[in-house]
Amino acid sequence: MNYSNHKLKKVGINYVSKNFNVIKRGIFSLLVLGLTFTSCSNNDEVTATEDVTQDTIEVQRSAEIDQIDNILGDLVIDAYEQQEFELADRIEYTQDNPTRETYSRDIPECVTITLVAQQNYREVTLDFGTEGCVVNGHLIQGQIVFDYTRNPEAQQIAINYNLIDFYFDAKNVIASRSILKELSNDNGNPQFTHNLSVTVIWPNGVQASREGTRIREWVEGFGSGVFSDNVFEITGDWTATFVNGNTHTYEVLVPLRREVICAFFVSGSFDVQRTNFGGIFDFGEGNCDNQATFTFNNGTEIPIVLN
C-alpha cells in the first residue's frame, strides 16, 4: 500500500514535470515568435524611416538645383539686358539727344564680362574666375558663355549658353542650355522659356540630372534699367533623376514668385511625385527666407531648410 502510494506520487511528479516542460517550451516558442514579429516590425519601421529620409534628402537636393537654375537665369538675363540696353542707348544718343542713361546691373564687379560683337551676332562671357565670386551669397567659379543674334524687329530671341568649368557652392554644374525670350506674352509681359537640361554633381559624388521646361514671366521691373527691382513668376514642369535610379516629376501648382533681391522663392508651390512617394513643396506666403515645407501625400508635413 505504501509502495503503491509512493508509485502514484512518483507518476504524478513525472506527469507534472512533463506538462511543465511542454508549457515551458510553449512559452519559449511564443517569446521567440514575439521577438521575431517585433524584429520584423522594427525592421519595417527602420526601412520606412530610411525611405522617408532618402525621399526628403532628394527633395532637398532638387530645391538646391532650383536655386542654381534661378541664379543662372538671373545672370544670363541680366547680362543680356545690359548689352541690349546699352546698345539701344548708344544708338539713340545723338547731338540732339545727348542724355546717356545707365543700366544698373545686379552682377557684382568681381565678374568679368567680355563682349564679342560681329554685325548682329553677340557672344558674351561671364567669367567668375578660378577662385570664384560671391553672387547672392553663393560662391560661383568658372564661366557662362552665351550668344544670340540681334533682331530688334523679332518677337522672339533665342539665347544659347554653355557652362565652362562651372561650380556653384562647390557643386559641379554641367549644362548646355537655351532660353527663348518673347518680347510680349498674352499678358503683355516679357517672357523667358528656359530649357532645364542640367547635371549637378555634389562634392561627395552624389549626382542628379534635370530635364524639362520652366517659363519665367517678367511681372515687375521691366524696362526700368535696374535689374534688382525685377520680379518673375515661374511655371513649368520637369523631371529630376538621381544616380540611384530614383526619378521625381515636378509640376508647378501655384506660380513660384522670384524677387531678384531675394536668394529664394518667396511663395508658390509645386507637386512632387514618384512611385510610392509624393507631396507638395511650398515656399510660403511671401517672406524672403530659407524656410519651406513639404507635405507628404499622407498629410505628414516636414520643414525644409534651403541652403
Q: What is the pTM of this model?
A: 0.76
pLDDT tens-digit map of 89-126: 555 544 455 555 667 788 999 999 999 999 889 999 99
Residue 40 lies in a domain: no
Residue 39 lies in a domain: no
Residue 129 lies in a domain: yes
pLDDT tens-digit map of 181-223: 999 999 999 999 999 999 999 999 999 999 999 999 999 988 7
CA 301/CA 291 separation, integer angstroms: 13
Residue 55 lies in a domain: yes
156 burial type by CB count under 10 A (0-12 exposed, 13-18 middle, 19+ buried): exposed
- Candidate ranges 67-71, 83-87, 125-129, 276-280; pick with highest mean pLDDT: 125-129
Provide the grid cell at 124: 558674351
> What is the pLDDT of the chain when averaged over all its residues?
81
Strands 277-285 and 112-118: unpaired
pLDDT at residue 19 tops 70: no
CB-based contacts of 251, cutoff 8 Å, min separation 6: 237, 270, 271
pLDDT tens-digit map of 240-290: 999 888 899 999 999 999 998 888 899 999 999 987 789 999 999 999 999
Number of domains comprising the chain? 1
Residue 295's pLDDT is what?
Answer: 94
Residue 190 lies in a domain: yes
CA 57/CA 30 separation, integer angstroms: 40
Report residue 54's pLDDT band, with 50, 70 and 90 as the boundaries: low
Residue 218 lies in a domain: yes
CA distances from 11 to 20, 23, 31, 111, 205 (A): 14, 18, 30, 99, 74
pLDDT at residue 75 tops 70: yes
Question: Higher-confidence residue: 140 or 105?
Answer: 140
Q: Tell me what the mean pLDDT of segment 128-132 comes to.
A: 96
Residue 104 lies in a domain: yes
Residue 27's pLDDT is what?
Answer: 33
Residue 30 lies in a domain: no
Q: Tell me what the mean pLDDT of segment 42-52 comes to.
A: 47
Is 129:118 a contact under the CB 8 Å cutoff? no
Q: Tell me what the mean pLDDT of segment 49-67 comes to.
A: 76
Identify the residue whose cell numbers are 519665367: 216
| Chain centroid, CA 51 distance in Å | 19
In which domain, by residue range, is 196 found? Answer: 46-305
Is 234:215 a contact under the CB 8 Å cutoff? yes
